[in-house]
Amino acid sequence: MISNHKHTTLKQAIKYPLFFVFLMWSLHIIKVLGGFHWNIYGIHPREADGLIGILMSPLLHSGFKHLMSNTIPLFLMFTLISLFYSKVAKVSFIAIYLLTGISVWFFGRHVYHIGASGVVYGLISFVFWSGIFRKNFKSVILTIIIIFLYSGYIAGVFPGQEGISWESHLLGAIVGMLVAFIVRNVQEQHEIDDIRRENMRVDNYEENYFFDRDVFEDKS
């Protein structure tokens, strides 16, 4: 028995991602059925009326196509973070959510920015860079998966695409990297278990050999 601590289950991991997706879809359906024009509650950079967009922008979308394009990657990335980085999942999501919005408010073009794509880029970046910073096996595997699934997203951080908030993408990616760096030393249970397994393997190795492993090393 390596650890008495419980690991996060898939059922636990999808709880908050499901709630967030439900909230996005509910607001969009209400918007469509009611004929509301909620785009004005997006981020309006460097304008006081745009501050509310820091909270509201990721929940608002221009249409069902826009909403669907963000739903799947957001749900998948948030679930992966909740499953493999459960100790920091909530605070990391909140930090990516708020800091991306704040960054767009400061540095974005003078238009209304809506949609969860900035948060999506932040989550993807977080998972990618966590593998780079942590260097444990599972984190590296997740990084490889991200490269395989979302390498095409790199184009989204460059300007010139009409109707796309490339600033949200770029700033979200930067924020995700920074958050991953800040929480890199918070060890998750699977990382602790891996370290214990390695220590047990080393102890068993030494117990089975008459001499210490370094007894024949040249120490001159």
Reported as a single tens digit per residue, the pLDDT across 187-198 is 888 778 777 776
Residue 178 has pLDDT above 90, yes or no: yes
Residue 203 inside a domain? The answer is no
C-alpha–C-alpha distance, residues 172 and 214, integer Å: 48
Residue with tokens 């490889």: 144
Residue 41 inside a domain? The answer is yes
pLDDT in tens, 24-35: 999 999 999 999
Task: Output the pTM of the full model.
Answer: 0.85
Q: Radius of gyration (Cα) for the chain, nearest Å?
A: 22
Range of the domain at 46: 10-191
Residue 25 inside a domain? The answer is yes
The count of structural domains within the chain is 1
Report the CATH number at residue 152.
1.20.1540.10
CA distance readout (Å), 17 to 20, 23, 83, 172: 5, 10, 11, 18
Residue 209 inside a domain? The answer is no
C-alpha–C-alpha distance, residues 26 and 115, integer Å: 14
Residue 208 inside a domain? The answer is no
